[in-house]
Amino acid sequence: MIAAALSGLMLTTLAAGALLAVLNARRWLAGQAASVDLVGGLLALPQRYLGDVHHVVARKPYNALFHALVAGGFLASLPLILLAALPALRGWLLWTALALCLAVMLAGALMVGWRRGVARPSELSGGGFARLPFALLAYAVCLLIVAVDQLAGEALPQTISLTLVAIGALAAADLILGVGRGPLKHALNGALHLIAHPRPARFHHGTRDTAIRALDLTGQKLGTERPVDFAWNRLLGFDACVQCGRCETVCPAYAAELPLNPKKIIQDIAAALDPAATDRAYAGHHHPGRSPGEAHGGRLLPLVGAGAMIHPDTLWSCTTCRACVEECPMMIEHVDAVIDLRRFETLERGATPGKAALALEELRAADNPSGRPASQRIEWAADLALPLIADRGECDILLWLGDAAFDMRGQRSLRALIELLRRAGVDFAVLGADELDCGDLARRLGDEATFQDFARRNIALLGRYRFNRILTNDPHVLHVLRKEYPSFGGRYTVVHHTALLLELIEAGRLAPRGSGRSVTFHDPCYLGRYNGEIEAPRRLLDALGLERIEMERSGLRSSCCGGGGGAPLTDVAGKKRIPDIRMDHARATGAERVAVGCPNCTIMLEGVTGKRPAVADIAELMLEAVA
Partner 1 sequence: MPSVAVLLSVGRHPASGRARRAPLDARALEMAFSLPNAAVHAIHAGNPDEPALRDYLGMGMERLTVLSIPRDGDPVPALTAHLEQLSPDMVLCGSRAEGGEDSGMVPYLIAHALGYAMVADIAAVSASAATATLTQALPRGRRRLIETGLPVVATVNTAAPAPRQSSFGRARRGVIDILAADAPPDTLADQCEIRPWRPRPKRMRLAAAASAADRLKAMTETRSGEGAVMIQPSPEEAARAIYAYLVEKRIIGDGS
List of residues contacting partner 1 (CB under 8 A) = 217, 221-222, 346-352, 357, 360-361, 364-367, 371-374, 447, 449-450
Choosing among partner 1, ligand SF4, none, which partner's interface includes residue 310 (Cβ < 5 to 8 Å by kind)?
Answer: none
Q: What is the DSSP letter of 391?
A: H
29 vs 217 by CB, closer to partner 1: 217
Q: Confirm if 531 and 482 have CB atoms less than 8 A apart.
A: yes
63 vs 450 by CB, closer to partner 1: 450
Stretch that binds ligand SF4, among 93-101, 259-267, 358-366, 415-423 (CB under 6 A): 259-267
Choosing among ligand SF4, partner 1, none, which partner's interface includes residue 221 (Cβ < 5 to 8 Å by kind)?
Answer: partner 1
Query: Residue 46's closest CA among 199, 194, 236?
Result: 194
Choosing among partner 1, ligand SF4, none, which partner's interface includes residue 365 (Cβ < 5 to 8 Å by kind)?
Answer: partner 1
Q: Confirm if 426 and 396 have CB atoms less than 8 A apart.
A: yes
Q: Confirm if 389 and 465 have CB atoms less than 8 A apart.
A: yes
What is d(CA 345, CA 354) in angstroms, rounded to the nearest whole number?
13
57 vs 222 by CB, closer to partner 1: 222
Amino acid identity, residue 595?
Answer: A
What is d(CA 568, CA 522) in angstroms, rounded to the nearest whole number?
18
What is d(CA 417, CA 591) in angstroms, rounded to the nearest whole number?
23
Query: Residue 345's closest CA among 453, 229, 457, 248?
Result: 229
CB of 59 to ligand SF4, least distance (A): 11
What is d(CA 597, CA 522) in angstroms, rounded to the nearest whole number?
8
- What DSSP string runs through 51-109? IIIHHHHTTSHHHHHHHHHHHHHHHHHHHHHHHTTSGGG-SHHHHHHHHHHHHHHHHHH
CB of 448 to partner 1, least distance (A): 8
Choosing among ligand SF4, partner 1, none, which partner's interface includes residue 361 (Cβ < 5 to 8 Å by kind)?
Answer: partner 1
Number of residues this chain uses to bind ligand SF4 (CB under 6 A): 30
Choosing among ligand SF4, partner 1, none, which partner's interface includes residue 572 (Cβ < 5 to 8 Å by kind)?
Answer: none
322 vs 479 by CB, closer to ligand SF4: 322
Among 228, 332, 398, 478, binds ligand SF4 (CB under 6 A): 332
Among 236, 247, 438, 618, binds ligand SF4 (CB under 6 A): 247
CB of 74 to ligand SF4, least distance (A): 20
Query: Residue 622's closest CA among 544, 561, 567?
Result: 544
CB of 423 to partner 1, least distance (A): 31
Choosing among ligand SF4, partner 1, none, which partner's interface includes residue 374 (Cβ < 5 to 8 Å by kind)?
Answer: partner 1
CB of 443 to partner 1, least distance (A): 13
Q: Confirm if 334 and 266 have CB atoms less than 8 A apart.
A: yes
Q: What is the DSSP letter of 457?
A: H
Choosing among partner 1, ligand SF4, none, which partner's interface includes residue 449 (Cβ < 5 to 8 Å by kind)?
Answer: partner 1
Stretch that binds ligand SF4, among 147-155, 328-336, 380-388, 402-410 (CB under 6 A): 328-336
String of contacts with ligand SF4 for each residue 296-325, x by CB under 6 A: ----------------------xxxxxxx-
**401 part of the interface to ligand SF4, by CB under 6 A:** no
**263 part of the interface to ligand SF4, by CB under 6 A:** yes
Choosing among ligand SF4, partner 1, none, which partner's interface includes residue 242 (Cβ < 5 to 8 Å by kind)?
Answer: ligand SF4
Provide the CB-side half-sphere exposure for 563 (13 A, CA): 26
CA distances to 254, 414, 438, 440, 590 from 402, in Å = 30, 10, 8, 11, 32
241 vs 551 by CB, closer to ligand SF4: 241
Exposure b/e, 169-182, CB count within 10 A at least 16 = b: bbbbbbbbbbbbbb
Which residues form the interface with ligand SF4 (CB under 6 A)?
Answer: 241-247, 250-253, 260, 262-263, 266, 318-324, 327-330, 332, 334-335, 560
